């Protein structure tokens, strides 16, 4: 496949891996722990496992799979709210596919659908708007989910609904933003991450400037990366080079897609349609100030939370789960007491077992090379 195979070239990978090996060996001298690099984005986690990158890298390098899987970090209570909306007889509930299996405290959207709720899988919020046009007698609610990657498309859809006066369309807004969460992680006292592989698609929207505090205040390098194996290896090497030079900068490996200033049109739509919530709850991490958004007052009419009396259910994470510690790299997935026993992709207990982008699901599915039962 053109424009893809180039980024999966084994010869290039071998050369990069060799260079990573040399550099990490040099860096390791005098260190007690392996070099820990967090890939923030779930898409990166998926790619690392899909191509078996961990097994190819020296043991001195450890990937920590960060909180960048929007499906995984969705709290149970929000899923319960989704189910409550979807079960209203007048509602068509439109959602991205992988959100359907996320367990709420009572049931998932997939179960609600089986019990009669009208839940439809869509590929874009515009598909949901089209459903609203075609079903004027029904209330179509789009489950807005994801980071800055999907935020603009939801925003543009709301703007279009407003322009066209489509009154039976609304958004159950669960969009979240990664920056406050990265800060919250970095502020933890014993946060042992040496550098970050920054999310590619999020950065395509927000640009690279919002990450500067990571280098300036916390002295960690961050390299915005693409999603192909070569992208990931090259980004890792860029992080190691910074470490070797004693530097901490924000670099952009994914320049073919990510402009430094982001996407101004998308950012404008985002600023118009959303405002930060005081706090938002993340599964496994708890409430984080300013990490979620809701619709602004001018678009309140399209806010499902205001249109329907959403129960706003709060459910504590299951006590046995150690998702929070896995997300911060303090604990490896297989060290969690319920990994693979009480918590499997079939019956996920914790957030990270839910989506194929979740660290635990990835280890379970693809078999972590070091340590996980294989």
Partner 1 sequence: MNSPFSLSRRAPRKVTQPFVTLAHGGGGTAMRDLIEDVFLEAFSGAGHPAPEDQARFDLAALAAKGDRLAFTTDAFVVDPLFFPGGDIGTLAVCGTINDLAVGGARPVALSCAVIIEEGLPVETLRRVVASMARTAAEAGVAIVTGDTKVVARGACDKLFLTTTGIGVVRAGLDVGIAKGRPGDVVLVNGLLGDHGAAILNARGDLALETPIESDCAPLHDLIDVLIAAAPGVRMMRDATRGGAAAVLNELAEASAVGVRLRELDVPLRPEVNGFCEILGLDPLYLANEGKLVAVVPPEEAQAALDAWRAHPLGRDAAAIGRLVAERPGRVVMETRFGGERIVDMLVGDQLPRIC
Site residues (vs partner 1, CB under 8 A)? 1, 4, 8, 10, 13-14, 42-43, 46, 49-56, 70-71, 96-101, 110, 121-123, 127, 145-147, 149-150, 201, 229, 345-346, 355-357, 364-367, 369, 374
Least Cα distance to 143 among 169, 165, 117 occurs for: 169
* Smaller CB separation from partner 1, 248 or 349: 349
* Smaller CB separation from partner 1, 202 or 240: 202
* Smaller CB separation from partner 1, 123 or 316: 123
Phi and psi (nearest 5°) for 60?
A: -70, -10
Shortest separation between residue 121's beta carbon and partner 1, angstroms = 8
Question: How many angstroms separate the CA atoms of 18 and 15, rounded?
Answer: 5
Shortest separation between residue 142's beta carbon and partner 1, angstroms = 13
* Smaller CB separation from partner 1, 194 or 357: 357
Considering only the C-alpha atoms of the chain, give the largest distance between any 2 of them, rounded to a whole number of Å.
68
Shortest separation between residue 245's beta carbon and partner 1, angstroms = 27
Asked whether the beta carbons of 108 and 98 are under 8 A apart, the reply is no
* Smaller CB separation from partner 1, 123 or 137: 123
Strands 250-252 and 139-146 turn out to be unpaired
Asked whether the beta carbons of 48 and 54 are under 8 A apart, the reply is yes
Other Cβ atoms within 10 Å of 31 Cβ, number: 11
* Smaller CB separation from partner 1, 15 or 245: 15
Shortest separation between residue 125's beta carbon and partner 1, angstroms = 12
Shortest separation between residue 140's beta carbon and partner 1, angstroms = 15
Shortest separation between residue 356's beta carbon and partner 1, angstroms = 7
Q: Whole-angstrom distance between the N-terminal and C-terminal Cα of the chain?
A: 31
Cα angle 62-68-70, degrees, rounded to a multiple of 5: 145
């Amino acid at each position: 496949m053109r424009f893809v195979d180039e980024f999966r070239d084994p010869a290039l990978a071998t050369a990069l891996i060799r260079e990573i090996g040399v550099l990490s060996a040099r860096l390791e001298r005098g260190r007690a722990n392996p070099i820990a690099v967090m890939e923030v984005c779930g898409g990166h986690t998926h790619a690392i496992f899909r191509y078996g990158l961990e097994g190819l890298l020296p043991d001195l390098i450890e990937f920590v799979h960060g909180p960048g899987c929007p499906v995984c970090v969705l709290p149970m209570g929000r899923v319960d709210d989704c189910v409550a909306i979807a079960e209203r007889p007048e509602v068509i509930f439109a959602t991205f596919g992988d959100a359907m299996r996320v367990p709420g405290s009572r049931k998932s959207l997939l179960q609600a659908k089986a019990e009669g709720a009208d839940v439809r899988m869509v590929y874009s919020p515009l598909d949901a708007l089209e459903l609203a046009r075609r079903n004027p007698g029904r209330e179509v609610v789009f489950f807005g989910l994801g980071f800055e990657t999907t935020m603009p498309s939801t925003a543009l859809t709301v703007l279009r609904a407003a322009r066209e006066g489509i009154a039976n369309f609304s958004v159950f807004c669960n969009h979240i933003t990664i920056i406050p969460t990265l800060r919250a992680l970095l502020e933890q006292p014993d946060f042992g991450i040496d550098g970050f592989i920054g999310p590619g698609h999020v950065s395509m929207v927000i640009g690279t400037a919002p990450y500067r505090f990571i280098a300036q205040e916390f002295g960690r390098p961050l390299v915005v990366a693409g999603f192909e194996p070569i992208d990931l290896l090259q980004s890792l090497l860029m992080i190691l080079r910074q470490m070797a030079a004693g530097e901490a900068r924000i670099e952009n490996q994914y320049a073919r897609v990510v402009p430094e200033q982001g996407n101004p049109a998308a950012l404008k739509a985002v600023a118009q349609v959303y405002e930060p919530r005081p706090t938002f709850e993340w599964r496994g991490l708890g409430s984080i100030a300013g990490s979620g958004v809701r619709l602004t007052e001018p678009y309140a009419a399209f806010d499902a939370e205001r249109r329907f009396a959403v129960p706003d259910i709060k459910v504590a994470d299951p006590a046995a789960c150690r998702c929070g510690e896995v997300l911060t790299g303090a604990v490896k997935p297989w060290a969690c007491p319920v990994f693979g026993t009480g918590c499997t992709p079939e019956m996920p207990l914790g957030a990270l077992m839910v989506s194929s982008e979740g660290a635990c699901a990835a280890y379970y599915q693809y078999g972590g090379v070091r340590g996980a039962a294989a």
